[in-house]
Amino acid sequence: MTDTTLTPPADKSSTILVMEPDVLVRMTIADYLRECGYKVVESSSGDDVLTILSTEIDIDTVFSGAQSADESSGFALAHRIRIARPDINVILTSGLEHAASKAAEVCSNGPLTKPYHPQELLRRIHLLRERHRTSKLSP
């Protein structure tokens, strides 16, 4: 159940791509984000993320672990997204200190360190979307 007192209001048109190889973790995150009003696309690998981003699905934010199970680490994925689609926010998460500091180089607004509270993920998404929206309004 979602604590709406701490949940930033979700833009109903906002779509978040959650990349997580562990299906149970991915489902938990995705279900939580859906409860908060976001549209969610799920992916189990970095390659799938890149395929999804090449479609007409309008993705606003990619959420991924810094370390992933396939060849494309979250860092490489974030870097490729930054080059190909700079309009997309990237949030990387890691429980390793050195990985978290490296994630700061390629993700929006620094890394999200594990363990994180789901409300912190929502706060980060809301902050990035607001920053992106206001940057479009600035000349």
For 51-80, how does the pLDDT look when each residue is reduced to its tens digit (9 = 90+)?
999 998 999 999 987 765 444 577 788 888
State which H helix or E strand residue 100 sits in.
Answer: helix 97-106
C-alpha 119/C-alpha 133 separation (Å) is 21
Residue 128 falls within a domain, yes or no? yes
| Structural domains of the chain, count | 1
| Domain harbouring 51, CATH code | 3.40.50.2300
**Geometric angle at alpha carbon 94, from 89 and 98, rounded to 5°:** 110
Q: What is the pLDDT of residues 3-54, one digit of tens each?
A: 444 445 455 568 999 998 889 888 988 999 998 889 999 999 888 999 999 9
Which residues 6+ apart lie within 8 Å of 8 measured at CB? 122, 123, 125, 126
Q: Report the mean per-residue pLDDT for the chain.
A: 76
CA 81 to chain centre: 11
Give pLDDT tens digits for 102-122: 555 555 555 666 667 778 888
In a domain, 20, yes or no: yes
